[in-house]
């Protein structure tokens, strides 16, 4: 498969000089500037902000998955707080009667780095709360040291309760094997490129290889009869997905496209208008500062995307305003 002349586009690990400057200066940036990242990728600080955004999306014909900002819980108390917040989120979304909404969690936010058993119990509690409402719980995939635990836990929960699915990252060398296991378990899968910076031992770093692996994995999943969340903003991959869907004669209830709020909105509209199911991830929460810092420091590409935004709006940036002026975000 040719990747359409994109050779030389940034590898996973390449950092342009401007991105490098931004990533290195993150700790010294004013909070208000960091807030622009949070504002770009999150609905707001409160659950009501997320509900408002989901409402807008549903009017546009999109489905939504609501997730909370935050990862790497510092202690058990924090995870108990998160459980309450997830229950409230499920209750609020249910009350609004939104069709096909889902909730997403990160296992490190539920205590995976503290105590595996605590994390498993927390996950099961949210899962059961979701199941009582006939809702599906997505479990995000995090850095490579957590992949095995996450897949084991998700597969176990899927076997016992049903209403959950796995996420796999196309940049990981192990994923083809994982996909075979997931196909055997007949579990729904979200396929992503992968957002964390990983070593060459565990992950492909070349942009073209990651794309080719994405297409290979997608084909394995679809041919295995798995319901796939095709999570990408890369139109090259979207085209490949459409090609496979066409060739395999799949119907529109056998897959869905997934995107992140605020990214590639035009492509999103094109897919909705063509009658495809499109799901948008809507994040909210108070941990926007820590979340944004991590994203900026970890992934130079995000620094690049945000640079464009920040430079574009720097002219309007006037002194010590609230970082979240203009929130809650509306679609
Ligand atoms: P690529 O990065 O090449 O982006 C294609 C184009 O989309 C870019 O050129 C740019 O225009 C635009 N774009 C992409 N990302 C952007 C951004 N952040 N801001 C602005 N513009 C952007 N990862 C992970 O490791 N675990 C997970 O659980 C998830 N979950 C997840 C859910 C959903 C719904 C999506 C869409 C993505 C994830 N990801 C993820 C992130 C994923 O791994 C990947 O890092 C991003 O989707 C970017 O890769 P693309 O496939 O979009 O291609």
pLDDT in tens, 206-238: 999 999 999 999 999 999 999 999 999 999 999
Active site residue 140: yes
Band of the pLDDT at 125, cuts 50, 70, 90?
A: very high
pTM of the model: 0.88
Comparison of pLDDT for 176 and 318, the residue scoring more: 176
Residue 61 has pLDDT above 80, yes or no: yes
Distance 74 CA to ligand 1 centre (A): 27
Cα–Cα dist 164/261, whole Å: 22
Q: Which residues of 152-172 are buried (b: 16+ CB within 10 A; e: fewer)?
A: ebbbebbeeeebbbbbbbbbb
Cα–Cα dist 158/150, whole Å: 12
- The residue whose two tokens read 């969340």 is 229
Q: Is the CB of 140 under 6 A from ligand 1?
A: yes
pLDDT at 3: 45
pLDDT at 310: 61
Comparison of pLDDT for 324 and 129, the residue scoring more: 129
Band of the pLDDT at 19, cuts 50, 70, 90?
A: low
Q: Which of 9, 202, 218, 233 has most ligand 1 atoms within 8 Å of its beta carbon, as the pocket-test mutant?
A: 233
Average pLDDT over all residues of the chain: 87
Residue 108 has pLDDT above 50, yes or no: yes
DSSP run (H or E) holding 138: strand 136-139
Q: What fold, for 43-284?
A: TIM Barrel (3.20.20)
Residue 58 has pLDDT above 80, yes or no: yes
Which residues in the chain are classed under CATH 3.20.20.220?
43-284
């Amino acid at each position: 498969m040719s990747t359409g002349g994109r050779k030389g586009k940034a590898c996973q690990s390449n950092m342009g000089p401007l991105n490098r400057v931004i990533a290195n200066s993150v700790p010294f940036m004013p909070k208000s500037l960091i807030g622009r990242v949070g504002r770009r990728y999150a609905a707001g600080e409160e659950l009501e902000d997320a509900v408002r955004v989901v409402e807008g999306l549903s009017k546009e014909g999109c489905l939504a998955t609501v997730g909370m900002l935050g990862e790497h819980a510092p202690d058990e108390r924090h995870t108990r707080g998160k459980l309450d917040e997830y229950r409230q989120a499920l209750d609020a979304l249910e009350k609004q009667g939104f069709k096909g909404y889902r909730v997403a969690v990160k296992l490190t936010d539920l205590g995976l780095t503290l105590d595996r058993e605590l994390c498993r119990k927390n996950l099961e509690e949210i899962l059961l709360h979701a199941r009582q409402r006939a809702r599906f719980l997505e479990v995000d995939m995090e850095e490579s040291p957590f992949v095995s635990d996450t897949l084991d836990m998700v597969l176990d929960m899927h076997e016992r309760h049903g209403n959950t699915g796995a996420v796999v990252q196309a940049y990981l060398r192990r994923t083809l094997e994982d996909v075979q296991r997931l196909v055997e378990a007949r579990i729904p899968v979200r396929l992503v490129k992968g957002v964390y910076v990983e070593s060459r031992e565990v992950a492909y770093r070349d942009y073209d290889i990651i794309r080719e692996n994405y297409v290979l994995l997608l084909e394995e999943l679809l041919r295995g009869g798995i319901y796939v969340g095709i999570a990408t903003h890369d139109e090259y991959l979207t085209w490949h997905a459409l090609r496979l869907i066409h060739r395999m004669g799949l119907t529109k209830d056998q897959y869905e496209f997934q995107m992140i709020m605020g990214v590639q909105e035009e492509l999103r509209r094109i897919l909705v208008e063509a009658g495809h199911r499109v799901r948008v991830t809507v994040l909210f929460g108070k941990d926007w500062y820590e979340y944004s810092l991590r994203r900026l420091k970890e992934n130079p590409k995000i620094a690049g995307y945000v640079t464009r935004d920040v430079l574009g709006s720097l002219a309007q940036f006037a002194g010590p305003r609230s970082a979240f002026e203009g929130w809650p975000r509306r679609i």
